[in-house]
Each structure stands twice: as structure tokens, then as C-alpha cells.
A = this chain, B = another copy of it.
């Protein structure tokens, strides 16, 4: 982290751009009923770190900077081409939070420092708001662009396929299914307190890692990265996702509701499998650091610079 102040500015700048793009693209009345527009905005524009969409933009920028260092076209920077994908990944992340927080699932009342969607709007509207956000994610990615080369169309389709794989039954939704199952098993005494490292990692790779991986991959795809670059970005984001989840688990033990903006200590109460429960806090911190180092190696191997390594530092050192 050579220039933390510069990185803070970068994050602020990209967050502003992402929030603006998200807000502009959302359906509004009279095209849609006011209630669903409100519910979508309530959860989507509630703040949030915007880690995933920033990762998409940063990956696109890193590939663009490396492959076209002299490019100065202000319109078609990697970041511009990747913005719809950045929005799509945040829309999907937000929908997953709404559905995960439902009473039928994790039953969480606080998220991003505010009452969860179902607390405010009721379960039915919360389910539908999640459905609408998920649908909108693919709508944003598919939206026709006025001037587009066949190569870019092909990249958009590839990015969408990657996003669908990451968000669906084999990825995020599959992870949530496994998480619910593991928690139920523990509650019912069908499994011991230790679900095993491999099983824990499988849950996290699907539930959190897959979408983080797709976020980075879409940026690299849309910036026209070659197969070798895409593989390096995947290696980077796999480790980043792992580090993210370990830190998330640590924060659930150490954090406070005020800094996290969500209910804390819930994992332990719910009998959820976590890294600290399985490995203890000290070993969990070491595992997060190992993942961060592996992420850095992946970037170095592909000569990818930009903000990607600072994002790893951010993920490792975050307090919320």
C-alpha cells in the first residue's frame, strides 16, 4: 500500500461513479410500481463498501493499463466499458443480502446499519425486491449499446455467462444452501461442532468467493484480457475471496454492531461454521495473511498493477 491516501480517493471516486450508475439505471415509476422502486432503492443505495463493483472496475483498469499503457481515449477506458458489469455484480450482491436476511433464512434485522428490507417492507415485498434486483442485474448487462464492436458483444455475453454461473446453483445460491444445511445439522446435533476445513472452504468459495471471482473476471473479460490474464485474475480473486471470508468471520467475533452495521456474534449463536470456530483467531489471521500473499503473487506473475493489490490490503485490514 504505497499511497493509502491516493487509494482512499480512488475508492471514494469509484463509489460515487458506481452509485450514480446504479441510481440512473434503476427502474422508476411510472414504468414500475412505486413500492418496488422504493424497496429496490432502500437496499441498494444504503451505503455498502461496494467492494465487488470496485473490483470489477479495478480489474478492467489493470488489464487496460498493462495492455494499452499509452491509451488516452477518455470514453473507452477499461472502467467505462466495465461499469454495467460493476453495477450488475452489486445488484446481485444486494439481492442476495435481502434474501439471506429473510426470516426463512438467516433472520437478520439489521444490515448496513439499517433495518433489513423485510423489517421495513414485509417478507413478500422483500422477496420481490430481491427478485427484481437480480433480474435487473442481467438487464443492465444486456442493455443495447449504440456503438459496439462484435468483439465487445462477445465479451459482454461471456461476462454474463460467468456472472450467472457464479451467482447460481453452482455458486452463490449453492453456497447458501450448504450453509443452511450445515447450520441445521449443527443445531440438530447431526454434525459435531467441527464441520471440517474442506467443507467450510467449499461453502465460502461458493457463497462469497464465486461472486468476488466473477466481479474481477468480468472486469478483465470486458477489458479484453487474454486467457492467461483471465487465469491470473481468477487466481488473484480466489485468494482475495478467501481472505475476505476469513476476515468476515473474524469481524463477526471481534466487531461491534456499530462498526459492522449488522448484527454481530450471530454466526456463533446460529451454530454457523466459521474460521475462528474451526481454527481459532490467531490461526485464522495467519490464514488470511497467507491468502493475501498468494493474491499478490498471482498479480505479479501476470504483471498486473493498478489498484488490485491495494484492494487486497483493504480487504485484510478492514474493520467492517
Q: Which residues of A contact B (CB under 8 A)?
A: 27, 31-33, 35-37, 40, 95, 99, 102, 104-105, 122-125, 127-128, 130-132, 134-136, 138-139, 141-144, 150, 153-154, 156-158, 160-161, 164-165, 167-170, 173-174, 176-178, 180-181
Q: Do B127 and A104 have beta carbons less than 8 Å apart?
A: yes
Chain B residues with CB below 8 A from A154, complex form: 144, 153
| This chain: copies in complex | 2
Considering the complex, give the chain B residue whose CB is closest to the CB of A96.
B131
Q: Do B37 and A169 have beta carbons less than 8 Å apart?
A: yes
Q: Do A135 and B164 have beta carbons less than 8 Å apart?
A: yes
Considering the complex, give the chain B residue whose CB is closest to the CB of A167.
B135
Q: Using known A-B contacts A138-B160, A144-B158, determine if residue A128 contacts B176 with beta carbons closer than 8 Å.
A: yes
Q: Do B177 and A161 have beta carbons less than 8 Å apart?
A: no
Q: Do B128 and A173 have beta carbons less than 8 Å apart?
A: yes
Q: How far is the CA of A143 from the CA of B144 in the complex (A)?
A: 18
Q: Do B138 and A173 have beta carbons less than 8 Å apart?
A: no
Q: Using known A-B contacts A32-B174, A33-B178, A128-B176, determine if residue A139 contacts B157 with beta carbons closer than 8 Å.
A: no
Q: Using known A-B contacts A99-B131, A142-B161, determine if residue A177 contacts B136 with beta carbons closer than 8 Å.
A: no
- Of B32, B122, B127, B158, which is within 8 A of A127 by CB? B127
Q: Nearest 10 pairs between A and B by C-beta?
A: A139-B164, A150-B150, A104-B123, A142-B160, A135-B168, A32-B169, A142-B161, A132-B169, A138-B138, A27-B169
Q: How far is the CA of A182 from the CA of B154 in the complex (A)?
A: 43
Q: Do B177 and A36 have beta carbons less than 8 Å apart?
A: yes
Q: Using known A-B contacts A125-B177, A142-B160, A144-B161, determine if residue A31 contacts B99 with beta carbons closer than 8 Å.
A: no
Q: Do B127 and A99 have beta carbons less than 8 Å apart?
A: yes
A-B contact pairs, 17 of them (CB 8 A): A27-B168, A31-B169, A36-B173, A37-B169, A95-B131, A104-B122, A125-B177, A132-B169, A132-B174, A136-B164, A139-B161, A139-B165, A139-B168, A142-B157, A142-B164, A150-B153, A160-B160
Q: Do B33 and A136 have beta carbons less than 8 Å apart?
A: no
Q: Do B36 and A132 have beta carbons less than 8 Å apart?
A: no
- Of B131, B153, B157, B160, which is within 8 A of A173 by CB? B131
Q: How far is the CA of A161 from the CA of B84 in the complex (A)?
A: 13
- Of B127, B132, B170, B177, which is within 8 A of A168 by CB? B132
